[in-house]
Amino acid sequence: MWTDFPEIPKKEMTLFVNKYQKNDAFIFQNTAVRRLPASPAKPPDADKFLAVTFAAMIVHLIGGNSAASRLREAIALQAGLAGQVVALPDRLHHGPLHRAEGQSFGKLRADYWRAIRPGQATEETPGESLQEERLLEAVNILQKFPESQVWFWMAPNAADVVAYYNSLRYLGRHAGRFYILNIAGLPFLDESGKVFFPNAFDLIPPREFVKSHRLARPVTPAETELDSEVWAHISGKDSFYRFLQGGKKITIEAETYFDRDLLNQLHSGPMKAARLVGQLVQKQGLPTDEAALLFRIQKLSAEGKLILKGDLQKSPREGELRLPEANPAFSENHPAG
């Protein structure tokens, strides 16, 4: 059981968070500051600071649990960032986004993740995707507490940009309180002190997050109006893969887009499935998930376009692939996108 404490003015609440966010006795979750019954005794002056709201705080939306962990470490270094970090676990740059009639978006995405990662217990594969739940949680805070803000942390990759367009459907109406923090084209220092240009937040050391918070700016009404139209395009029936072409421009492709890349790898002879997708994603830089390619391989096998020996759902490393004898050679390759 959690213990909720009474609300206090925003100034004192902010002081409490800044002072005690590292104390194991307190948990910051949703819109409450809570204490575990079995936790150590609270500091003697904490009573006057305990609060229920995030009224003067920031809700940080960021893609993926790894990036969220880095951001939490950064918040511990910079009091001005104090707030609630909300990880958006569903990486929306591949898989269906178009709902059938009567189907929820959360169910659509959860079914997809279970299909491409069968038997793997991940945050993306509950009965319903957590994406909508967490965005609605942010909306609820904005509605309850007029001085709160939401910051969306966006790196130059398709997953983050698509997540921004999805978030805009929920948060775009809160003009002046929905902020974006875009690091595209900006230099950072890596763990060894060398300059680099990251395309994902989980590559950035926590100390560098502290510098990047100065980039936060409100999403303008004009941006909201223009960007709100993008979701309808990128979530259409023919959209399965989504690629970033610079800025916030997203292009879409069908599920068959990487078929030639997959089949061309087999032209020289049989190959293990894990090795094939590893070469395409890790060495050639195809901008997608290895699990998505393994899922597509099963469909190509069912269509007779390649021969699969083994069960990829049980052991992708053991599955062996080869082309059928009569399969024509493929000579075209797609750009990485």
Among the listed residues 244, 278, 221, 245, the one whose alpha carbon sits nearest the alpha carbon of residue 92: 244
84 pLDDT higher than 90: no
pLDDT of residue 327: 53
pLDDT of residue 21: 53
| Burial zone of 154 (CB within 10 Å; 0-12 exposed, 13-18 middle, 19+ buried) | buried
Distance CA 98, CA 106 (A): 11
51 pLDDT higher than 50: no
Q: What is the pLDDT of residues 247-261, one digit of tens each?
A: 999 999 999 999 999
| Burial zone of 195 (CB within 10 Å; 0-12 exposed, 13-18 middle, 19+ buried) | exposed
Distance CA 88, CA 279 (A): 28
Q: What is the pLDDT of residues 18-30, one digit of tens each?
A: 555 554 444 444 3
Six token digits for residue 279:
């070469």
CATH topology of domain 57-233: Dna Topoisomerase Vi A Subunit; Chain: A, domain 2 (3.40.1360)
Q: What is the pLDDT of residues 273-285, one digit of tens each?
A: 889 999 999 888 8
State the CATH class of domain 259-322: mainly alpha
> Which residues, 6+ apart, have CB-to-CB distance to 325 below 8 Å?
none
Find the distance separating the first CA and the last CA of the chain, reported in whole Å: 49
Rounded to the nearest integer, the mean pLDDT of the chain is 79
Six token digits for residue 88:
């958006």
Q: How far is CA 221 from CA 3, 171, 172, 213, in A?
A: 40, 12, 8, 22
| Burial zone of 21 (CB within 10 Å; 0-12 exposed, 13-18 middle, 19+ buried) | middle
Domain boundaries of the chain, sorted by first residue: 57-233, 259-322
How would residue 46 be classed by pLDDT, with cut points 50, 70 and 90? very low
Model confidence, pTM: 0.77
Helical packing angle, 105-116 and 290-302, nearest 10°: 80
Q: What is the pLDDT of residues 197-253, one digit of tens each?
A: 999 999 999 888 888 888 899 999 999 999 999 999 999 999 999 999 989 999 999
Give me the helices (H) in 145-268, please.
158-171, 206-212, 221-227, 230-234, 259-264
Q: If you average pLDDT over residues 47-60, what whole number do you get?
A: 53
Among the listed residues 227, 30, 26, 66, the one whose alpha carbon sits nearest the alpha carbon of residue 145: 30
Contact 34, 3 (CB under 8 A): yes
| Burial zone of 22 (CB within 10 Å; 0-12 exposed, 13-18 middle, 19+ buried) | exposed
How would residue 151 be classed by pLDDT, with cut points 50, 70 and 90? very high
